[in-house]
Amino acid sequence: MLPATLTSAAERGLLHPEWAAALAPAAEAYARAVASLADEPDFLPASDLVLRAFAHPPAHTRVLIVGQDPYPTPGHPVGLAFSADPAVRPIPRSVANLFKELHTDLGLTPPASADLSAWAERGVLLLNRVLTVAPGRAGSHRRRGWEEFTDRAIAVLAALPQPPVAILWGNDARTLAPALTGTTVIEGVHPSPLSASRGFFGSRPFSAANAALIAAGQEPVDWSLPEDTLF
C-alpha cells in the first residue's frame, strides 16, 4: 500500500525528498487519492511505482511530457507516462506511433521495447495526470485527488528558474497550457491510433523540444533508446 503521507513516501525512497517538500501544498489531495485505494488492492501500477515519475529532483526536468493515466493492463504500467514494462509485447500502439515519429523526426531506430526509463534518467518527466487505475478500467481513478496533485507538480516545474519545455499531446494534456506560461509549450495530437494520423505524424516534437532547449542555453535531450528494432 502507498504511504499515507508524502514524507513517509520519501523516507521509503518512493519519490525524491525535494519533490516531497515541493508537493506539500497538495498533501491533502495525495492523502485523499491514497485513501481511495484502500478497497482496491489490485490497482495499477504497483505501489512502489506510483510515484516513480518523481524519482529525481524537480530541477532535473528539462522536458515535461504529460499523459492521461496508467495502462490498465496488469504487467504493463511502470509509473512513467507512455512507458511500459520492457517485457510487454506487442508494445502499446501509442508508443509504436511515438517511435515512428521519433524515426521520422530524428532518424532514430524504433526499439522493440516500450521502456522509456532512459528518457527519465536524462531529464524527461513522463507524468500521467492520474497516477493509478483499476485493472481493465481506463480512467477509473479520475477525480480522486490525483489531478490536484499533478497540477501542483506542474506548477512547481513552471516556477523553476529554468522551466522545462512542455510537450502536451491530446486535448486532456493541452488544457494545462495556461499553467505553463513562461516556458515553451509544444501542443499536438495524441499518438493514439485513433488520432495519430490527424496531425501527430509529421509534427516533429522531439526536434522542436531540443531546439527550444538550445535556444534557452541548455543541452538537447538524447532521445535515443536501445536499438533492438521494432520493424
> What pLDDT does 73 receive?
97
Residue 104 resides in a domain:
yes
pLDDT averaged over 10-residue windows placed end to end, the chain, 231 residues: 96 98 98 95 96 98 97 98 97 97 96 96 98 97 98 98 97 94 95 96 98 97 79 43
151 in catalytic set: no
Number of domains observed in the structure of the chain:
1
Give a yes or no: residue 221 inside a domain.
no
168 lies in a domain? yes
Let me know the angle formed at the C-alpha of 84 by 40 and 73, rounded to the nearest 5 degrees. 40
CATH of the domain at 38: 3.40.470.10
Please indicate, yes or no, if residue 32 is contained in any of the structural domains. Answer: yes
CB atoms within 10 A of CB 186: 20
The residue among 107, 79, 111, 80 whose CA lies nearest residue 96 is 111
Q: Which pLDDT belongs to residue 70?
A: 97
pTM of the model: 0.96
- Res 208: pLDDT: 98
Active-site residue, selected from the candidate residues 48, 69, 151, 228: 69
pLDDT of residue 229: 47
Range of the domain at 191: 6-215
Residue 226 falls inside a structural domain: no
